[in-house]
């Protein structure tokens, strides 16, 4: 058709030139030919478009799952591979029961029985009940690494620490004229007490300190199992460690005002009892982590359970220092043993058992920048088969071995029996997360 058009146009020009008396041109310039189209099957085009579209959609979906819905705060969030999240903890913990450790009574009561638990005027100043928990401050640091910028799978490390009952109770004879440390006399099975203060007989003071500390860490691998535009569920597996430490310290100091107290005048007696229990957990852990998004808001639910072994180690130590005034100078003598920590029960020991350490948590998050989130959440921690310090404090003693005495008769208290129980901690968390 192109050639025909050229010939036709040339013939026309030639005839027009001859008609006007002008010789016809000897040559002609042909028109450029049109490109020839190569036919491509429509089915092949469709397959290519669909394939490339699905691949691109899959990449976009993967890059979009760890942030809010498209168009809300997601820019630059997904290229990060490292992240860190510090948290402030306000937690409560399960308490434990302590026996009566300090008492007072009436100044009209005979000093031989003052402060004993069977006397009607005796008042317990510390102990004889459960130390209920109060919200205590703590902290947790979480950090993670994504294997690829798609954040499909990665590793996470977490460490936390929280103080339990860092409680100290102090009292002296200026506050209570009668002070005593009660116990059960193993030689006759009757209530008894050691005086710390009594008018015109003995002056003194006492301090009881209770310290509880909870800490732990876990390292785990996480991988997405479910991934949709607004939901992600990860499977977790790894290692977990937990540590629970209880300590009770009892200190008293007394100075003799009269030899009827059992010590020469101006003799100073210092007693110390130390009880310590530490539980260490090691185990393997699995769990699930769910995330739901709506705009810049998201909700996260966590469930983890670890199965392993717990090591429970106790320590009991007592000491007494007696300072005698001789020729105007004090001569100091040290003895092993206090009042409740005596040679028959002092020492250390270890026990092992299986244990389960589990954790449940929920957190509400808000993403206010492309690389930052803030959150408020709640955590419940459960731990089975632990030993608390109260199980190693035995108030039934043989008073003949109280320093500077020596044991006569029954050896009491004996080695402690470790009673296992459950433990829990719960509370609020406030966190800030940054990805970089």
pLDDT one-digit tens code per residue, 203-230? 999 999 999 999 999 999 999 999 887 8
Examine the domain organization and report whether 163 and 28 are in the same domain. no
Contact in structure between 14 and 25 (CB atoms under 8 Å): yes
Domain count along the chain: 2
Beta bridge partners of 252: 206, 271
Examine the domain organization and report whether 154 and 8 are in the same domain. no
Pairing of strands 268-294, 231-256: antiparallel
Examine the domain organization and report whether 124 and 16 are in the same domain. no
Write the pLDDT tens digit of every residue in 287-337: 999 999 887 889 999 999 999 999 999 999 999 999 999 988 999 999 999
3: which 2 tokens? 């050639």
Q: What is the pLDDT of residue 163?
A: 81
Identify the sign of the CA torsion 399, 400, 403, 407: negative
**Domain enclosing residue 216, as ranges:** 38-435
Contact in structure between 158 and 142 (CB atoms under 8 Å): yes
427: which 2 tokens? 């509370």
Contact in structure between 213 and 137 (CB atoms under 8 Å): no
How are the residues of the chain apportioned to helix, strand and coil, as percentages rounded to the nearest 5? 10, 55, 35
Examine the domain organization and report whether 13 and 49 are in the same domain. no
297: which 2 tokens? 């808001």
Examine the domain organization and report whether 132 and 32 are in the same domain. no
Q: How many CB atoms lie within 10 A of CB 75?
A: 11
- Using pLDDT thresholds of 50, 70 and 90, give the confidence band for residue 53: very low
Helical segments of 125-225, H only: none
Across the chain, mean pLDDT equals 85
CA-closest candidate to residue 382, choices 277, 307, 321: 307
Residue 272 and residue 270: Cα distance in Å, rounded? 7
Please state whether the peptide bond connecting residue 413 to the residue before it is cis, i.e. omega within 30 degrees of 0: yes
Identify the sign of the CA torsion 229, 235, 239, 240: positive
Residue 351 and residue 213: Cα distance in Å, rounded? 20
Q: What is the pLDDT of residue 166?
A: 78
Examine the domain organization and report whether 249 and 285 are in the same domain. yes
Residue 318 and residue 273: Cα distance in Å, rounded? 5
Examine the domain organization and report whether 42 and 19 are in the same domain. no
Instruction: Tell the residue number behind the tokens 């000491």, with chain if given.
Output: 319
Averaged pLDDT for residues 168-184: 96
Examine the domain organization and report whether 99 and 209 are in the same domain. yes
- Look up the CATH number of the domain holding residue 106: 2.40.128.100
Task: Say what the pTM is.
Answer: 0.81
Examine the domain organization and report whether 247 and 301 are in the same domain. yes
Examine the domain organization and report whether 14 and 97 are in the same domain. no
Length of the chain: 436
Examine the domain organization and report whether 43 and 27 are in the same domain. no
36: which 2 tokens? 């020839």
HSE-CB of 358 using CA atoms within 13 angstroms: 9
Residue 93 and residue 96: Cα distance in Å, rounded? 10
Examine the domain organization and report whether 375 and 278 are in the same domain. yes
| DSSP assignment letter at 24 | P
The residue that leads in pLDDT, 348 or 20, is: 348
Write the pLDDT tens digit of every residue in 102-114: 999 999 999 999 9
Give the phi and the psi of residue 368 in degrees, each rounded to 5: -100, -10
Contact in structure between 183 and 394 (CB atoms under 8 Å): no
Q: Name the 3-class secondary structure at 122.
A: coil
């Amino acid at each position: 058709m192109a050639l025909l058009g050229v010939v036709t146009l040339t013939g026309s020009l030639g005839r027009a030139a001859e008609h006007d008396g002008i010789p016809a041109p000897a040559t002609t310039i042909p028109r450029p030919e049109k490109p020839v189209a190569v036919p491509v099957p429509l089915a092949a085009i469709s397959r290519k478009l669909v394939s490339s579209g699905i691949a691109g959609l899959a990449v976009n979906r993967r890059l979009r799952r760890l942030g809010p819905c498209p168009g809300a705060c997601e820019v630059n969030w997904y290229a990060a591979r490292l992240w860190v999240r510090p948290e402030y903890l306000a937690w409560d913990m399960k308490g434990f029961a302590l026996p009566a450790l300090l008492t007072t009574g009436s100044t009209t009561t005979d000093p031989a029985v003052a402060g004993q638990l069977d006397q009607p005027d005796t008042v317990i100043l510390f102990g004889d009940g459960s130390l209920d928990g109060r919200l205590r401050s703590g902290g947790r640091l979480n950090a993670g690494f994504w294997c690829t910028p798609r954040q499909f799978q990665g590793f996470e490390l977490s460490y936390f620490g929280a103080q339990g009952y860092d409680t100290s109770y102090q009292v002296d004879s200026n506050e209570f004229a009668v002070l005593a440390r009660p116990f059960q006399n193993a030689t006759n099975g009757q209530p008894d007490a050691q005086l710390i203060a009594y008018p015109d007989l003995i002056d003194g003071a006492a301090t009881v300190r209770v310290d509880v500390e909870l800490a732990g860490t876990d390292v785990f691998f996480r991988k997405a199992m479910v991934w949709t535009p607004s939901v992600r569920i990860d499977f977790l597996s790894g290692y977990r460690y937990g540590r629970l430490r209880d300590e009770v310290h009892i200190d008293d100091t007394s100075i003799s005002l009269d030899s009827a107290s059992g010590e020469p005048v101006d003799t100073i007696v210092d007693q110390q009892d130390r009880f310590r229990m530490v539980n260490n957990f090691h185990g393997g852990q699995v769990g699930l982590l769910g995330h739901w998004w709506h705009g810049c808001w998201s909700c996260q639910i966590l469930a983890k359970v670890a199965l392993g072994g717990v090591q429970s180690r106790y320590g009991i130590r007592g000491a007494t220092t007696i300072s005698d005034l001789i020729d105007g100078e004090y001569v100091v003598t040290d003895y092993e043993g206090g009042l409740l920590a005596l040679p028959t029960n002092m020492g250390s020991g270890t026990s092992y058992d299986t244990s389960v350490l589990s954790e449940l948590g929920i957190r509400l998050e808000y993403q206010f920048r492309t690389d930052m989130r803030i959150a408020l959440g709640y955590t419940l921690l459960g731990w089975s088969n632990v030993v608390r310090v109260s199980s190693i404090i035995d108030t039934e003693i043989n008073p003949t071995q109280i320093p500077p005495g020596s044991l006569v008769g029954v050896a009491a208290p004996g080695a402690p029996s470790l009673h296992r129980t459950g433990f829990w901690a719960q509370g609020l968390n406030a966190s800030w997360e940054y990805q970089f």
